[in-house]
Amino acid sequence: MTVDDRHYHYQSLVSEGDRRKFLISSIMSHFLLVTVILVWQFAAPNGPTLTLGGGGGGGSRAIGVGLVEGLPAGQEYFKPPVTLPEPVAAPAVKPAESIMETDRPDDFLKTTRPDRKSATEKPAAPAAAAAPAPPGPVSTGNHAPGVRGGTGTGGPDGGTGHGVSIGGAGEGFYDSWYARQVEQRVGSNWLESRMGIQFSGKHRTLIQFAVSPEGRIEDIQIVESTGPEAFERSALRAVRASDPLPPLPVQYRMQRNRVRFVAIFEHPTP
C-alpha cells in the first residue's frame, strides 16, 4: 500500500465534516509536536537524539515513508510479528536468515483435518495390519502406574499395525504419528545400545518417561523389570539417547503440560 493509496483510503472513509475536524486536529498535533522537538533540542543540545518509533494522528504519513524507504517491498514491513531484516553484511553466506518462516499459515486451523470422512474408512487401516501385533501389554495395568486401559482405536487388546499399544481415551488421539516416530527413534537407539550383548531367556523392562512441550525427556524411571541389570541399562540408555524429541504436536499440547510415555522393552523382540 503506497502513501497515496492510504490517503485515498482515508478520504473515502470519513465524511466532509469529520475530515475538517481531522485536519484541524492534525495541524494542531503537528504544531505541538514541532514545539516539543524544538524545545527539546534547545534545552538539551548534547542530549540523546530523538528517534521516532511510530506516528501519531495525521503525522504517520511522513514517518511511514521514512520507514519504507530503501526497502524492497514496503508492504512487508507493516506486518507485525516477524522481525527478520534483509541481511546486509553477508547475504550470500547465510541465506537462511532472510527467509521468513511462519509456523501456521492463516488457514491452518480450518484445514487441520480436511476430507475427514466419518467412521466408514477409519477402521480399514488398523484392521488390515492388526494381525501380527501381540496381545497388548497395557493390560498389565497393575505394574505400570499411570497406564490405563482405554477405548481408543488401538485399545488394550490389540494395537495397530505399528504395534503401538495405546491406553487412554479419545478416538485415534494417541495413535498419532508422534508416538510412532518416538517408538522408532527409541527402538533404533536401543538396538545400538545393546550391541555386542547376547541375552538369553525372556526379559521385559517397562520404562516410564515424560515428554515436555519442547520435546525434552524428563523423569525417566523403571516401573517394572524382569531382566538382568544389563538389559535394564540398555533400555535406559536408549531412552536417554532419544532426548530431545521434537516439540509435542499441538493436539497434545492443548490437552496437558507433559505427555507420559511407557516404553516396553522385550527380549526376544516380538
Of 147-206, binders to other proteins (CB under 8 A) are: 147-148, 150, 159-160, 163-169, 172, 174-192, 196
Q: Which residues of 52-75 are buried (b: 16+ CB within 10 A; e: fewer)?
A: eeeeeebeeeeebeebbeeeeebe
Tell the smallest beta-carbon distance from residue 49 to other proteins (Å).
25
Task: Check: CB of residue 245 under 8 Å from CB of residue 182.
Answer: yes
**Cα–Cα dist 267/258, whole Å:** 29
Total number of residues binding other proteins (CB under 8 A)? Answer: 94
- Closest CB to other proteins among 57 and 152? 152
- Residue selected from 43, 96, 119, 131 as contacting other proteins according to rule CB under 8 A: 96
Tell me the angle at which helices 177-193 and 229-241 cross, rounded to the nearest 10 degrees. 130
Amino acid sitting at position 126: P
Residue 119 interacting with other proteins (CB under 8 A): no
User: How many Cα neighbours within 13 Å face the side chain of 15?
Assistant: 2
- Residue selected from 5, 104, 118, 229 as contacting other proteins according to rule CB under 8 A: 104
List binders of other proteins among 231-250 (CB under 8 A).
Answer: 238, 242, 244-246, 249
Residues 6 or more apart whose CB falls under 8 angstroms from that of 95 comprise 87
Residue 123 interacting with other proteins (CB under 8 A): no
Instruction: Find how far residue 185's CA is from the centre of its chain.
Output: 19
Residue 118 interacting with other proteins (CB under 8 A): no
Q: Quick one: which segment of 10-18, 40-48, 52-60, 68-76 binds other proteins (CB under 8 A)?
A: 68-76
Task: Check: CB of residue 133 under 8 Å from CB of residue 165.
Answer: yes
Q: Quick one: which segment of 22-30, 37-45, 58-66, 120-128 binds other proteins (CB under 8 A)?
A: 120-128
**Cα–Cα dist 174/126, whole Å:** 13
Residue 131 interacting with other proteins (CB under 8 A): no
**Which grid coordinates are listed for 221?**
524411571
List binders of other proteins among 3-62 (CB under 8 A).
Answer: none
| Neighbour-count burial of 210, counting CB atoms closer than 10 A to its CB (0-12 exposed, 13-18 middle, 19+ buried) | middle
- Closest CB to other proteins among 64 and 150? 150
Residue 263 interacting with other proteins (CB under 8 A): yes
- Closest CB to other proteins among 15 and 198? 198
Tell the smallest beta-carbon distance from residue 213 to other proteins (Å).
10
Tell the smallest beta-carbon distance from residue 222 to other proteins (Å).
14
- Closest CB to other proteins among 57 and 187? 187
